[in-house]
Structure 1
């Protein structure tokens, strides 16, 4: 009987992948990229995916439903399964994939903690500073960090307004109100 347990899906795996996919789609919004915004590079794309996934994980962890943390973990697992797959598709060798994924995990974790601290305190300048430090190590273009911080705060509010039942079914409205 233990053998069958190896093939059983985790209860929130499908919803986690669907929610992570929605976060990636939100992170790919062309309006977020450009000369006066986030650079359209591998690092810039990672930063936006990390931001949107962190905001989604934050929302799920904050829900009073006891399934929230497990669903947040499923989103996190989907993210790093995707990162592993993307590295392999880019031709990164098997021997270095683990190290690269670990560095990505550490980068995500540090960013998520910084964003969580600023958002929990409703501290827009702290969020702006964290985004500036992470997304633009050489300094952001004029106004870019404040625009991204405003986007993140609006996205956080959009997620907070949604019922948990949609998330558990793998559905989330990731667009911002007009």
Structure 2
């Protein structure tokens, strides 16, 4: 009856995992070397890109891993809700805005993951150009595509059950496609 007072036993795990995803997405190399715009939208795209890959890997695990993936996504939505409120969006508009962000996430997830799973580098580059660089074929698109391919391969080698405990390993984004 009083479930609102019951603490989520995985709360610390969800915070740790979401924190690791955010930390990777905020790595300065993405903005300095990859050319992702260091703007609210650019940072959101970098976050969604990483969240999509982690979410995909968790979705391949057992029911517990899938539940953690859902809780991490819920944490992302809560984070977006908090940011929108901090930006002065009215209480009446926040839910609609969060639904829009969630829809954008699932659109990106579908585009990135289908391209990564199919090994379709052209489709991946198109998705990156469209989403991260607002339709511009930026010079760093191939570098970001290479990073995403290596990241998904690295995540595929990690057990979803281990990731579900809050332990995720990301590659160093620095060396991909450097000339």
The 10-residue stretch of structure 1 (162-171 or 99-108) with the greater mean CA deviation from structure 2: 162-171
Given that residues 27 and 45 in structure 1 are in contact (C-alpha distance below 8 angstroms), is that contact kept between their aligned partners in structure 2?
Answer: yes
Corresponding residue of 1:115: 112
Distance apart, 1:45 and its partner CA: 0.5
- TM-score, normalization: structure 1? 0.88
**110, 128, 142: which one aligns with 1:146:** 142
Mapped pair 1:135 → 2:132: yes
Corresponding residue of 2:6: 8
Question: What is the CA–CA distance in structure 2 between the aligned matches of 1:72 and 1:49, rounded to whole Å?
Answer: 15
Q: How does 1:72-83 map to 2 (within 5 A)?
A: 72-83=69-80
Structure 1 alignment gaps of length 5 or more: none
Instruction: Please give the root-mean-square deviation of Cα atoms over the aligned residues, in Å.
Output: 1.9
- TM-score, normalization: structure 2? 0.88
Corresponding residue of 2:84: 87
**100, 104, 117: which one aligns with 1:103:** 100
**164, 167, 171: which one aligns with 2:163:** 167
Given that residues 17 and 74 in structure 1 are in contact (C-alpha distance below 8 angstroms), is that contact kept between their aligned partners in structure 2?
Answer: no
Specify whether residues 36 and 122 from structure 1 end up closer, same or farther in structure 2 by C-alpha distance, changes over 3 A only. closer
Structure 2 alignment gaps of length 5 or more: none
Specify whether residues 152 and 36 from structure 1 end up closer, same or farther in structure 2 by C-alpha distance, changes over 3 A only. closer
Distance apart, 1:122 and its partner CA: 1.6
Given that residues 30 and 36 in structure 2 are in contact (C-alpha distance below 8 angstroms), is that contact kept between their aligned partners in structure 1?
Answer: yes
Question: What is the CA–CA distance in structure 2 between the aligned matches of 1:163 and 1:104, rounded to whole Å?
Answer: 28
What's the secondary structure of 1:94's corresponding residue?
Answer: coil
Question: What is the CA–CA distance in structure 2 between the aligned matches of 1:130 and 1:88, rounded to whole Å?
Answer: 29
